[in-house]
Structure 1
Amino acid sequence: MKTPRKGQRLWMKLTLMVLMTVIVTLITSYILLNQQITKSVKKNEEIHLLKVARTISEYPLVHQSLEQKKTSSELQEYANQMKTNYDLDFVVVMTMDHIRLTHPDPTKINQAFQGGDEESALKGVESTSIAEGTLGPSLRAFVPVFSSDNTEIGVIALGVKTATIKLISQETMKPLTLSLIIAFSFGLGAAIFTAYTLKKQMYDLEPKEIARLLEE
């Protein structure tokens, strides 16, 4: 009666030992992959945002509106169109006085830009950052707009909410998560097979019993 219980203890010990190794390895891999993918998604979004902002900064209507420091329905329509075309959360055309000429929320037009991370762009330098605005935390890109005589006349600010970036990262991780689940299943099977094989090679005996037999 005692031998089956001892064999069962050995089975569990061997299975848990192999299984814990597999679990630790998979969890570590998942965390590292998740961090790497999040960084990669953020970097790709920054590059994408800067490219779109440069395109908007060259549009004649944008130049005209910034030089006049005046918004219009045509400018707002163009900003909304670019927002839709490039899956952005906001597109803001901003004057040198920090005043928005466009915004997804019409009530925010002609009000001061929020965040404080636009200062570099107002000094003629492109930049990206994560800051809190009227739409919540977001990844933003800033590109200065220059007139024909190379004088800065405004800034293009656009971006996506950090929640959107998290969703993109999660969607990217889905195939990898499935792969890790499959790997865990194989690892579980390998753990059970390894434990079973070792147990049979030891004739279902506990290590203490084998040592005692050797001594005898």
Structure 2
Amino acid sequence: MRLFRQLSIQWKITILSFGIVAFALMMVSISLLGYVTSIKEDELSNRTMITAQLVAQNHTVQQWVDAKPEEASRTLQPIVERIRVINDHDYIVLLNMDRIRITHPIPERLQTPFVGGDEDPAFAEHIYLSKAKTEGVVTVRAFMPILNQQREQVGVAVVGSVLPSYADMIQEFWQPALLIGLITALFGFWGSWLLASHIKRQTFNMEPDELAHLLVERDASFNAIHEGVVAINKHEKITIMNEAARRMLGVEEKAIGRNIHEIIPDTKLPEILSIGKPLYQREFYVQGRLVFSNRIPIQIDGETVGAIAIFQDKSDVDRLAEELTGVQAFVDALRVQNHEYSNKLHTIAGLIQLDEGKKALQYIFDLEEEQEEFSGVVMQKIHNDSLAGLLLGKVSRGKELGVQVIIEKDSEFIDHPEGVTTHDLVVIVGNLIDNSLDAFSSTQDQNKTVHVFIGEENDFLKIRVRDNGEGIREEVREKMFVRGFSTKSTSGRGIGLFLIQAIVERVEGKIEVESELNIGATFSIYLPKKRG
């Protein structure tokens, strides 16, 4: 047993499978042997009964069986023995009505009483078969009454044949049985080895203890991940759910092995089984919580056998994104202001060198008044510091590029729509303005303007960015919301409009795009104030 435990799983499966095949072969052989024996018995019974009828209907037998035993034996013994030999029976015994043996293969038993115990019905004109066991040998015997020409019973014919034993049957068929057994065993072993090899490949050539160790490591790894992880098989049964996912989604009951619709009905993970393609960086609500998710199909040899979702609480992502956005905006603002104030200092320095001190002073007052007026309007209308800072930064960036960014006077932002965060608004407004600024990269028009409007319209927060750039070509318009698509060759582009669309779809808003080549483009975003 210790040696068996030390074998590889491939050899264990092979030995067990071959053992099952060998056991099945033995059971079939025993059943077949019993069936053949039964057929042999039926055949001997029929032959024995036919011979008994043949003997009983013989005219010589009918005439002499009731004669004196000595004379009857001399007449009938040769005839009956010839019939016995021809039909291959072990014995044929004729009995007169006194139950004296008239014929018998053993001469010493002639003219002696018949002792069988099963002959009485035959003397009452009954025809039947019986079995007799003597000295371990089973004989099937046919009893047939002998009638004379007047239809009177004058004796009984008993025909007996020894039934072959199991040992006799095996000895008779041992050569073909051995050949069949060897061929079956060979193919059984070969099939067992193929099955074991297939199972071994399916388990990546790993032993059970290695698989168990790997499973423990996998569970520990998944539970150590801060992000939630949920996986399903092709039958939509949950196969993985780590502790972060349970905590994030409030799942306390046993989930592994259950249908995902019973545990997390709004996960949107089963749709990956249908489309067979990954969906990255999507935002949606699960169990009433906004999450940021990547959903990926699990494929083996091109067939989708499951799907896995890795997701984060959107509030955590937004918190980090807002921090990063604030830092980036601060850096951009410093860079733009550094460039802008360098130009203004050069202008002031030039006026002073020309002894135009009054003009230089007036220039400084005008700049101060302009900056205070613009900043005051933005801060009064836009009641969100991050969004207001973004707009101020984009206006300065536009000046640097020679584009006038105009915040429309009727713009006003007071409160967020339901489900929309400050980060979402920064992403939408920032990317739309950046795209409009990029629209002037190949135009020579000196009057470059970008108009920005943020305000409420009916039950929506409307964000509109309009420019008079080169417009959007039809082939670009068809692909512009696809992740990674960009008309610019710079790496890392092609994500802005994709993110905007993801935010809008998440809150069930809508996007309207109007464009005309060489005239400009207008993007209008509508975010519902209340979801549902």
The answer to whether the superposition gives a TM-score over 0.5 is: yes
Report the equivalent of 1:141.
142
Shift of residue 17, structure 1, vs aligned partner: 2.1
Distance in structure 2 (CA, Å) of the matches to 1:135 and 1:63: 34
Matched, 1:60 2:59: yes
Report the equivalent of 2:75.
74
- Judged with a 3 Å threshold, the aligned counterparts in structure 2 of structure 1 residues 153 and 181 are, in CA distance, closer, same or farther, namely farther
Q: Does 1 or 2 have the higher relative contact order (CA < 8 Å, sep 6+)?
A: 1
Shift of residue 173, structure 1, vs aligned partner: 7.3
Moved more, 176-185 or 77-86: 176-185
SS at match of 2:78: helix
- Judged with a 3 Å threshold, the aligned counterparts in structure 2 of structure 1 residues 55 and 214 are, in CA distance, closer, same or farther, namely same
Shift of residue 170, structure 1, vs aligned partner: 5.3
- Judged with a 3 Å threshold, the aligned counterparts in structure 2 of structure 1 residues 164 and 208 are, in CA distance, closer, same or farther, namely closer
Report the equivalent of 2:108.
107
Task: Name the aligned partner's letter for residue 213 of structure 2.
Answer: R
Matched, 1:212 2:213: yes
Distance in structure 2 (CA, Å) of the matches to 1:165 and 1:147: 41
SS at match of 1:116: coil
Shift of residue 6, structure 1, vs aligned partner: 8.6
Give the unaligned 5+ runs of structure 2: 218-532
Moved more, 12-21 or 78-87: 12-21
Would you say the 8 A contact 2:73–2:110 is kept in 1?
no
Shift of residue 195, structure 1, vs aligned partner: 1.6
Report the equivalent of 1:31.
30
Deviations 1:156-201 (A, max 9, x none): 1011123479635753676456434422221122112222332244
Report the equivalent of 2:19.
20
Would you say the 8 A contact 1:115–1:133 is kept in 2?
no
Report the equivalent of 1:116.
117
Q: Normalized against structure 1, the TM-score is what?
A: 0.86
1:166-205 alignment, distance < 5 Å? 167=168, 171=172, 175=176, 178-205=179-206
Shift of residue 8, structure 1, vs aligned partner: 3.8
Deviations 1:20-67 (A, max 9, x none): 221222122112111121111111111110001101111111111123
- Judged with a 3 Å threshold, the aligned counterparts in structure 2 of structure 1 residues 136 and 196 are, in CA distance, closer, same or farther, namely closer
Distance in structure 1 (CA, Å) of the matches to 2:170 and 2:45: 14
Distance in structure 2 (CA, Å) of the matches to 1:182 and 1:88: 37
- Judged with a 3 Å threshold, the aligned counterparts in structure 2 of structure 1 residues 6 and 166 are, in CA distance, closer, same or farther, namely closer
Report the equivalent of 2:407.
none
Distance in structure 2 (CA, Å) of the matches to 1:105 and 1:47: 24
- Judged with a 3 Å threshold, the aligned counterparts in structure 2 of structure 1 residues 10 and 120 are, in CA distance, closer, same or farther, namely same
Distance in structure 2 (CA, Å) of the matches to 1:110 and 1:212: 88
- Judged with a 3 Å threshold, the aligned counterparts in structure 2 of structure 1 residues 134 and 121 are, in CA distance, closer, same or farther, namely farther
Which protein has the bigger strand share?
A: 2
Shift of residue 75, structure 1, vs aligned partner: 1.1
Would you say the 8 A contact 2:131–2:138 is kept in 1?
yes
Distance in structure 1 (CA, Å) of the matches to 2:163 and 2:59: 31
Moved more, 191-200 or 126-135: 126-135
Distance in structure 2 (CA, Å) of the matches to 1:172 and 1:54: 32
Would you say the 8 A contact 2:97–2:154 is kept in 1?
yes
SS at match of 1:68: coil
Distance in structure 1 (CA, Å) of the matches to 2:193 and 2:23: 17
SS at match of 1:115: coil
Q: Normalized against structure 2, the TM-score is what?
A: 0.37
Task: Name the aligned partner's letter for residue 152 of structure 1.
Answer: Q
- Judged with a 3 Å threshold, the aligned counterparts in structure 2 of structure 1 residues 182 and 23 are, in CA distance, closer, same or farther, namely same
Moved more, 123-132 or 70-79: 70-79
Would you say the 8 A contact 1:95–1:154 is kept in 2?
yes
Shift of residue 97, structure 1, vs aligned partner: 1.5
Distance in structure 2 (CA, Å) of the matches to 1:165 and 1:51: 25
Would you say the 8 A contact 1:114–1:134 is kept in 2?
no
SS at match of 1:103: coil
Matched, 1:87 2:77: no
Task: Name the aligned partner's letter for residue 60 of structure 2.
Answer: L
- Judged with a 3 Å threshold, the aligned counterparts in structure 2 of structure 1 residues 129 and 165 are, in CA distance, closer, same or farther, namely farther
- Judged with a 3 Å threshold, the aligned counterparts in structure 2 of structure 1 residues 168 and 57 are, in CA distance, closer, same or farther, namely farther
Matched length: 212
Distance in structure 1 (CA, Å) of the matches to 2:38 and 2:144: 22
Distance in structure 2 (CA, Å) of the matches to 1:102 and 1:165: 31
- Judged with a 3 Å threshold, the aligned counterparts in structure 2 of structure 1 residues 78 and 107 are, in CA distance, closer, same or farther, namely same
Deviations 1:44-96 (A, max 9, x none): 11111000110111111111112314323331111110111011111111112
Distance in structure 1 (CA, Å) of the matches to 2:170 and 2:100: 33
Which protein has the bigger helix share?
A: 1
Distance in structure 1 (CA, Å) of the matches to 2:109 and 2:122: 20
Distance in structure 1 (CA, Å) of the matches to 2:20 and 2:146: 56
Shift of residue 154, structure 1, vs aligned partner: 0.6
Report the equivalent of 2:393.
none
**Root-mean-square deviation (CA), in Å?**
2.7
Distance in structure 2 (CA, Å) of the matches to 1:173 and 1:135: 23
Overall identity of the aligned pairs, in %: 27
Distance in structure 2 (CA, Å) of the matches to 1:45 and 1:169: 18
